[in-house]
Amino acid sequence: MCTRIAVADTGEGMTPEVRAKAFEPFFTTKPRAGTGLGLAQVYGFIKQSSGQVTICSEHGQGTTVKL
CA 26 – CA 44 distance, rounded (Å): 14
Banded pLDDT at 10 (limits 50, 70, 90): very high
Among candidate residues 43, 41, 54, 50, the one with its CA nearest the CA of residue 7: 54
Residue 33, pLDDT > 80, answer: no
Q: Which residues pair with 32 in a beta bridge?
A: none
Q: What is the value of pTM for the model shown?
A: 0.81
Q: For residue 1, is pLDDT > 70?
A: no
pLDDT for res 36: 85
- Give the β-pairing of 6-9 and 62-66: antiparallel
